[in-house]
Amino acid sequence: MTTASNMKRIVIEPVTRVEGHGKVTILMDQANKVKQARLHIVEFRGFERFIQGRLFWEVPVLVQRLCGICPVSHHIAAAKAMDRIVGGENITPTALKMRLLMHHGQFFQSHALHFFHLSSPDLLFGFDADVAIRNVIGVAAKYPDLAVQAVMMRKYGQEVIKRTAGKKIHGTGAIPGGINKNLSIAERDELLKDIDQMMEWSRSAVKIAKDYTVENLAKLKDFGSFESNHLSIVRPDGAYDIYDGGLRAIDAQGNKIFDHVDNQKYNDYIAEEVRSWSYMKFPFIKSIGPEKGWYRVGPLARVNNADYFDTPEAEACRKEFMAVTNNKPNNITMAYHWARMIELLNSCETFQRLLNDPDLQGTDLVVKGQRREEAVGIIEAPRGTLFHHYKVDKNDQVVMANLIVSTTSNNEPMNRAVQKVAMDHLDGKPEITEGLLNHVEVAIRAYDPCLSCATHALGQMPLVVELYDNDGELIDRKTT
């Protein structure tokens, strides 16, 4: 905690139990009134710049190195774009199902990690429980069965990725126009061996998240919550899909802002705003503008947006979830956890369906067609909609790349959540304890932000240095 002349500045740095590095600053006056609360992203990435000049088939393997948390998402989004570059966007059933399996493997491991390792300490012990036990070691000591489940579920997801991408982290499975391997019978049987156990644990994970949300609904309803738009992809029939579909945006009441938008035209619908105090941009829906056009992505947005899940158990859970808000969009920030676990169950059901599909043993792996020079690949990553946009010249070299990553879309919502929690829980308090500050982090964690890849590209945003006096007046400004 540092003190300015007439203002108090509280810094939470780093924000813990999130992926990547960020910090929160809260400015309070001498009566402890909150004047400003912000989430800053202090990491920096330069991928969009330094893949320029690289060969296009390298991109799915190269760009996933943005991060070790959900590399599969970047791998697949880039591969989808490169499918179009080689004119092979209609990939074979084997390629499609191998990629689906890989992608659901990623969802399964990422969601399990977030729920059990990162968030469960807050939910199981309370937001302001003793910090010495409010961590994953505390969970392992008090709920050993849950800790084992967490590790084994994550391991299972990683094994799925290994068998489809070649490696647990940073594999090479998806190549332009398809996939470089199928699933052998031995690999399939290995994965089927544990599937019933995974289903059982997935069901119980949904139950933990649901029971927690329903039992604490009165408290959670307002916690870091606010009305917002929601964005995700959906299938042509409105079904939940994480691999392919048109863009759908709804407002807080469920009215459609746009629907089934062609991925190649995302630029006509989404724009990004730069603010001086964060390396992360602020995307918004163009037709509404930056002020009110921001939106949420991720599990909450996807469950709100989908007309149905095509797996029976997840669909039953979705109905229960939507019933809480009378089938209107759920705008409760903490409901992200419940939505995330419904997705986890959907991924597990999808494993079951895919592993019994003989297409996975097919040998027709790659297709090619009419070459293109520009392409967009959009998927749903565990944390939300992920956009990859590339231009490739006639020499096969990348000349332009733009990535809008999931956490970037949740930038404004996370800042709103931080502001709301700061106002509701810190404002006017005589003493700011660690437990109170953890409330701010709890709201951020609900979004499962991954800050590693969410920051802006080197070389595209001019560096601006602004000097303010104590009254907040801008007194000097320099740009590069």
Please tell me what DSSP assigns to residue 116: I
Please identify which residue in 396, 402, 432, 436 interacts with another protein, judged by CB under 8 A.
396
Distance between CA atoms of residues 372 and 56, nearest Å: 12
Question: Do 120 and 17 form a contact (C-beta atoms < 8 A)?
Answer: no
For strands 295-296 and 229-234, give the pairing: parallel
> Which residue in this structure is represented by tokens 């000591």?
141
What one-letter code names the amino acid at 250?
I
172 binds another protein (CB under 8 A): yes
What minimum distance in Å lies between the beta carbon of 53 and another protein? 6
Please identify which residue in 78, 86, 95, 381 interacts with another protein, judged by CB under 8 A.
86
180 binds another protein (CB under 8 A): yes
72 binds another protein (CB under 8 A): no
Q: For residue 237, how many other CB atoms are within 10 A of its CB?
A: 10
Distance between CA atoms of residues 240 and 158, nearest Å: 23
Buried-state track 250-264, b at ≥16 Cβ within 10 A, e below 16: bbbeeeebbeebebb
Buried-state track 276-285, b at ≥16 Cβ within 10 A, e below 16: eebbbbbbbb
Smaller CB separation from another protein, 176 or 382: 176
Please identify which residue in 395, 470, 479, 480 interacts with another protein, judged by CB under 8 A.
395
397 binds another protein (CB under 8 A): yes
What minimum distance in Å lies between the beta carbon of 175 and another protein? 5
81 binds another protein (CB under 8 A): no
Q: Which stretch binds another protein (CB under 8 A): 56-64, 99-107, 286-294, 332-340?
A: 56-64
Q: Decide: residue 459, CB within 10 A, 0-12 exposed, 13-18 middle, 19+ buried.
A: exposed
The number of angstroms, rounded, from the C-alpha of 456 to the middle of its chain's C-alpha atoms is: 16
Please identify which residue in 88, 173, 224, 377 interacts with another protein, judged by CB under 8 A.
173
- Site size for another protein, by CB under 8 A? 24
Smaller CB separation from another protein, 71 or 246: 71
121 binds another protein (CB under 8 A): no
Please tell me what DSSP assigns to residue 224: T
Q: Which stretch binds another protein (CB under 8 A): 1-9, 108-116, 198-206, 393-401?
A: 393-401
372 binds another protein (CB under 8 A): no
Q: Which stretch binds another protein (CB under 8 A): 40-48, 165-173, 351-359, 448-456?
A: 165-173
Binding site for another protein (CB under 8 A): 53-55, 57-58, 60-62, 65, 86, 165-167, 170-173, 175-176, 180-181, 395-397
